A = this chain, B = another copy of it.
Amino acid sequence: MTYCVAMRLREGLVFASDTRTNAGLDPIAIFRKMHVFERRGERSIVLLTSGNLATAQSVVSLLRERMAHEDVVNLCTVNSLFGAAQLVGDIVNEVIAHASSSQQNGGIDFSVNVLLGGQIRGESPRLFHIYSQGNFIEATEDTTYFQIGEVKYGKLIIGLVIHYDTSLDQTRKCALISFDSTIRSNLSVGMPIDLACYREDRFALEVERIADQDEHSNTLRRAWSDGLRSVFENLP
């Protein structure tokens, strides 16, 4: 499994993804599910993927290959995030169709979900959830975030504190806590966490990897669970 979340706020965007992949209980492995496509000063795009790892990796490889060719539509030439979402959707479709056409496809689920967000100069930051069918929806001021993968455990805190005007800093914290709730409950979601923050009109992402031993994140998680216990103990 996987857990990824992306939020579209007034100030910008926050992305977070875990790094565990598994097929049943083993093998488990660490794979990056956050992919950054950036031309500093001009466009910053982040892709988060869940679902079939072979499909997800092929989609990312094809997107990168295309970027070597100026004459084909690619993430560096599209004029809008909507165009980027169309491109990713088409490639998702293509990869799944190819895998499904195999004589050996016996019941394998090749599907993926993709969160695509960022900003291309000339428009505001945008965020899309792209489905395996290649179609997609866009985040709005009413629904500011999308989750993919193992989404249920970490939803409570996001639903409670995130709205369009939440600061990037608070949103980043909220993402970490949402991951903590998920990792506590589900073996298929694991550290480290990849985290990316994007402030509107900066055209430069701040990307970091948060390790299991990260002191700040552990302090945050402890403060959160201690806080929850104390709220609980003081309930009327």
The residues of A with any CB-CB pair to B shorter than 8 Å are: 152-153, 155-157, 159-161, 170, 173-174, 177, 181, 184-185, 216, 219-220, 223-225, 227-236
Q: Are B177 and A232 neighbours in the complex by a CB distance under 8 Å? A: yes
Q: Are B231 and A231 neighbours in the complex by a CB distance under 8 Å? A: yes
Q: Are A156 and B173 neighbours in the complex by a CB distance under 8 Å? A: no
By secondary structure, the A interface counts as helix
Cα separation A151 to B228 with both chains bound (whole Å) = 19
**From A222, which residue of chain B is reached at the shortest CB distance?**
B236
Taking the nearest CB of chain B, how far is it from the CB of A161, in angstroms?
5
What number of copies of this chain does the assembly contain? 2
**From A150, which residue of chain B is reached at the shortest CB distance?**
B152
Q: Are A160 and B232 neighbours in the complex by a CB distance under 8 Å? A: yes
Taking the nearest CB of chain B, how far is it from the CB of A3, in angstroms?
12
Q: Are B156 and A181 neighbours in the complex by a CB distance under 8 Å? A: yes
Which residues from B are CB-within-8-Å of A173? 232, 235
Q: Are A156 and B159 neighbours in the complex by a CB distance under 8 Å? A: no
Closest 7 CB pairs of A and B: A227-B231, A152-B152, A156-B181, A161-B232, A152-B153, A223-B235, A155-B185
Which residues from B are CB-within-8-Å of A160? 225, 228-229, 232
Q: Are A159 and B185 neighbours in the complex by a CB distance under 8 Å? A: yes
Q: Are A161 and B219 neighbours in the complex by a CB distance under 8 Å? A: no
Q: Are B161 and A185 neighbours in the complex by a CB distance under 8 Å? A: no
Cα separation A234 to B219 with both chains bound (whole Å) = 13
15 contacts between A and B (CB under 8 A): A153-B153, A156-B156, A156-B181, A160-B229, A170-B233, A173-B235, A174-B232, A177-B232, A177-B235, A219-B236, A220-B236, A223-B236, A227-B234, A228-B228, A231-B231
Q: Are A157 and B232 neighbours in the complex by a CB distance under 8 Å? A: yes
Which residues from B are CB-within-8-Å of A234? 227
Which residues from B are CB-within-8-Å of A153? 152-153, 155-156
